C-alpha cells in the first residue's frame, strides 16, 4: 500500500484528503485553521480553487465565517454518510439544504490566455467572489456525496482522536490513516513503545 504523505502549507493547512470539500473539513483539526483572512486566502490558493498567482486582496473579513459555515454543513453530511444506516438522517436536512443553496451560483469562470512563452494558461475572468468560491466547494461536496462509488471510499482516520475524513483511493482500499507521516507515524511509535513495554515486563 502506497504511503500517503501530508501536503502541508502555511497556517498548518493540509491538502491530502483527496477532495476539496474534505480538505475544507480538515481545517477544523486539531484547532481552527480558518480563523483569519490570510489563512483563508492560503487555503483557497492551496486547494487550487483559483489558478496560481490569482490575487485575493479583495477578500474581506466576511469570508472566513462563510467558509466555516459551509464546512459545518458539509461535515454534518459527511459524518452522517459514514454512519449510514445507524443514525437518523433527518437532522441533516438543514445542512443539505444549505449545501444545495451554496452550490447553486456559478463557480469562478475560467478563461485561457497566452502566457509569457506563448502557451495557454488558465486565469479567472475577473476577481473571484466569495459566493462563487463557496459554490465550487459546495458543488464538490454534492458530486462526492451523490456518486456511489466515490462515496463508498469515504473513510475516517483510524488514528487516536483524529476526526479527519479522507477519500481512500489506495489499492484494495486499505488506507487507514489521514497521513502516514502524521497519524501513521504516531501509531508506529505507539506500537514500538508497547512492544518495548511488554519486553521489559517479560524479563
pLDDT of 59 > 80? The answer is yes
102 burial (CB, 10 Å; 0-12 / 13-18 / 19+) is buried
Q: Work out the pLDDT band at 84, boundaries 50, 70, 90.
A: confident
Q: Which domain holds residue 155?
A: 10-201
Cell of 143: 458530486
Crossing angle, helix 93-103 and helix 63-82, to 10 degrees? 130
Q: How far is CA 57 from CA 16, 45, 47, 121, 142, in A?
A: 26, 12, 17, 21, 29
Q: CB neighbours of 108 closer than 8 A, spacing ≥ 6?
A: 49, 50, 124, 125, 128, 129, 132, 133, 136
What mean pLDDT do residues 8-32 have?
92
pLDDT of 5 > 50? The answer is no
Q: How far is CA 94 from CA 76, 97, 137, 150, in A?
A: 10, 5, 18, 23
CB atoms within 10 A of CB 6: 17
**Which pLDDT value is given to residue 15?**
94
Per-residue pLDDT of 122-161, as tens digits, reads 999 999 999 999 999 999 999 999 999 999 999 999 888 8
The verdict on residue 133 lying in a domain is: yes
The verdict on residue 1 lying in a domain is: no
The verdict on residue 164 lying in a domain is: yes
The verdict on residue 49 lying in a domain is: yes
The verdict on residue 5 lying in a domain is: no
Please provide the DSSP assignment of 77-93 as one string. HHHHHHTTTTS--GGGH
Number of domains in the chain: 1
**Which pLDDT value is given to residue 101?**
98
The verdict on residue 4 lying in a domain is: no
pLDDT of 85 > 70? The answer is no
| CATH (domain of 66) | 1.10.3300.10
The verdict on residue 72 lying in a domain is: yes
Q: What percent of the chain has pLDDT over 70?
A: 83
**Which pLDDT value is given to residue 139?**
98
pTM: 0.86
Q: Work out the pLDDT band at 187, boundaries 50, 70, 90.
A: low
Q: What's the mean per-residue pLDDT of the chain?
A: 88
pLDDT of 1 > 60? The answer is no
Q: Work out the pLDDT band at 70, boundaries 50, 70, 90.
A: very high
The verdict on residue 161 lying in a domain is: yes
Amino acid at each position: 500500500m502506497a504511503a500517503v504523505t501530508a501536503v502541508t502549507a502555511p497556517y498548518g493547512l493540509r491538502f491530502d484528503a483527496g477532495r476539496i470539500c474534505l480538505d475544507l473539513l480538515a481545517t477544523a483539526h486539531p484547532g481552527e485553521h480558518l480563523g483569519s483572512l490570510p489563512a483563508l486566502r492560503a487555503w483557497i490558493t492551496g486547494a487550487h480553487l483559483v489558478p496560481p498567482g490569482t490575487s485575493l486582496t479583495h477578500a474581506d473579513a466576511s469570508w472566513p465565517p462563510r467558509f466555516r459555515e459551509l464546512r459545518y454543513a458539509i461535515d454534518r453530511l459527511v459524518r452522517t454518510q459514514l454512519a449510514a444506516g445507524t443514525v437518523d438522517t433527518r437532522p441533516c436536512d438543514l445542512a443539505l439544504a444549505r449545501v444545495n443553496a451554496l452550490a447553486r451560483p456559478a463557480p469562478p469562470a475560467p478563461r485561457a490566455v497566452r502566457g509569457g512563452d506563448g502557451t495557454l494558461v488558465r486565469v479567472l475572468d475577473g476577481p473571484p467572489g466569495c459566493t462563487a468560491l463557496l459554490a465550487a466547494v459546495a458543488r464538490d461536496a454534492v458530486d462526492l456525496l451523490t456518486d456511489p462509488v466515490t462515496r463508498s471510499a469515504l473513510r475516517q482516520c483510524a488514528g487516536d482522536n483524529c476526526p479527519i475524513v479522507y477519500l481512500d483511493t489506495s489499492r484494495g482500499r486499505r488506507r487507514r490513516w489521514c497521513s502516514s507521516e502524521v497519524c501513521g507515524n504516531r501509531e508506529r511509535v505507539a506500537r514500538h513503545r508497547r512492544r518495548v513495554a511488554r519486553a521489559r515486563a517479560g524479563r
